[in-house]
């Protein structure tokens, strides 16, 4: 991990790499945080992925689909960086990581009343079932379980 960190710091001097408890990109602090106890190739791939987020300047997202697009873009950038460093990221690993987001999106989109798969509404934390017209709200955090409060309404909902 130390060799990869040295290569990334040399290649991207505009980025700050900081030890932490998990791999993540902090747009507020403009730093790539890496797990200091990490080792192995998957940890290297995670570091490349978070570097991808940093280089793409991913700051925030509004919609679930936007988050998935950002994750895919960060993995594509990570593959590009890896190639420049004569490394390769396993495609199956990338798809496994993306599957966690796909599963998250799927669970959030299920109507709690009739189990129909639905899409987010304009404000991006509310869903509305086009089958039974149930409305529900989900957490905007990708780290939180989808908490659903239901209210069965037959008219279009108005959100403030």
User: What is the phi/psi pair of residue 103, to 5°?
Assistant: -65, -45
Residue range of the domain that includes 157: 112-160
User: What interhelical angle do 41-55 and 2-11 show, nearest 10?
Assistant: 20
What tens digit of pLDDT does each residue of 126-155 get?
A: 899 999 999 988 876 665 533 333 333 333
What mean pLDDT, rounded, does the chain reach?
86
Q: Which pTM does this prediction carry? A: 0.81
Same domain assignment for residues 120 and 101 = no
Residue 51, burial from CB neighbour count under 10 angstroms (0-12, 13-18, 19+): buried
Q: The dihedral of CA 14, 80, 141, 69: what is its sign?
A: positive
Same domain assignment for residues 7 and 85 = yes
Q: What is the CATH number of the domain that holds 96?
A: 1.10.10
Same domain assignment for residues 83 and 135 = no
pLDDT at residue 17 tops 70: yes
Mean pLDDT of 30-59: 95
Domain end residue (candidates: 67, 85, 107): 107
pLDDT at residue 58 tops 90: yes
């Amino acid at each position: 991990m130390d060799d990869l960190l040295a290569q990334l710091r040399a290649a991207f001097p505009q980025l700050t790499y900081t030890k932490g408890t998990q791999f993540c990109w902090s747009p507020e602090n403009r730093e790539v945080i890496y797990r200091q106890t990490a080792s192995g190739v998957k940890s290297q791939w995670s570091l490349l992925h978070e570097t991808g987020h940093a280089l793409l300047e991913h700051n925030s997202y509004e919609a679930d689909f936007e988050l998935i697009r950002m994750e895919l873009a960060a993995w594509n950038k990570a593959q590009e960086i890896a190639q420049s460093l004569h490394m390769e990221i396993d495609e199956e690993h990338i798809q496994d990581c993306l599957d966690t987001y796909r599963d998250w999106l799927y669970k959030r989109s299920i109507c709690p009343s009739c189990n129909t798969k639905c899409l987010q509404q304009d404000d991006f934390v509310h869903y509305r079932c086009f089958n039974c017209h149930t409305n529900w709200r989900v957490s905007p955090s990708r780290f939180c379980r989808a908490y659903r409060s239901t209210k069965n309404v037959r008219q279009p909902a108005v959100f403030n």
